[in-house]
Amino acid sequence: MKASDRLWSLGSGLLAVGIAAGTWFGVISPDLQAAATARDDLAMVEQQNAIHQARITVLEESAAKLPQYEVELAELAQGIPAEAGYADFMRQLEALATETGVTLQSVTNADAIAYVPPVVEAAAPADASEGTDAAADPAAADPAAAPTGAAPTPHTNPLINEQNFAALPITISATGGTAELGDFLQRLQMGTRLTSVTSTTLTTAVDDVPGTAEIVGYLYVFRSALTGP
């Protein structure tokens, strides 16, 4: 083969390699990268669609239970209504007194008290001087002998605050038989309207003299966003 033919063959080969390389880097490689990016985007979209579908399923299940939730809310609202509802409470007391055979003498109420969330107090730091009292205090010398029970942490809810929850102080005075007054007190705490009894003063019935009961406690009002302004 002549030298000129070799040069033409070599040049043609280099040209073919250049064209192939240009085609790869200029056309095929970008197309492959675009295809890979499209696959990644498709996988991301499918993942997001799966998340959205799961949320839709949860919402559909909640919507199906909405009538049940409304019934439960109505029942709870009877115990802790959105208003003071003293008239309804008085009717409940009068019916309860009739059922138990006691006589209501008076029912008084005071101004509402805004709810104050409980504050968990931090444990006080140990005093260095307490170490010298270990011998005199067996519980201090032996940790196993010390009480291990801790006070429960008060439960709080950020949705319940002084703006929407309040306690209504009440005092109920009634007379009747000793057993009847006890029955009245028990049913009062299990009635439709939630009543928290904080103290009770009872006197026993003697012969024709009826017993007396003075019951001090609280009613509650909760005005949630669902009850309107």
SS3 letters for 81-150? CCCCCHHHHHHHHHHHHHHHCCEEEEEEECCCEECCCCCCCCCCCCCHHHHHHCCCCHHHHCHHHCCCCC
Average model confidence (pLDDT) across the chain: 77
Longest dimension (CA), the chain: 145
| Highest mean pLDDT (candidates 71-80, 142-151, 156-165, 173-182) | 173-182
pLDDT of residue 35: 66
Instruction: Name the residue range of residue 35's domain.
Output: 1-79
Residues 219, 106 share a domain? yes
Return the pLDDT at 227: 46
Both 29 and 86 in one domain: the answer is no
- Note whether residue 140 is domain-resident: no
Q: What is the CATH number of the domain that holds 185?
A: 3.30.70.60
In this predicted structure, what is the pLDDT of residue 228? 45
State the pLDDT confidence band at 229, using cuts at 50, 70 and 90.
Answer: very low
pTM of the shown model: 0.58
Residue, of 98 and 67, whose pLDDT is higher = 98
Same structural domain, 50 and 111:
no
Count of structural domains within the chain = 2
Q: Which residue has the higher pLDDT, 131 or 32?
A: 32
Instruction: Identify the pLDDT of residue 89.
Output: 93
Q: pLDDT digits over 3-46, tens only?
A: 555 555 655 655 565 555 555 555 555 666 766 777 777 788 88
Q: Does residue 91 share a domain with residue 74?
A: no
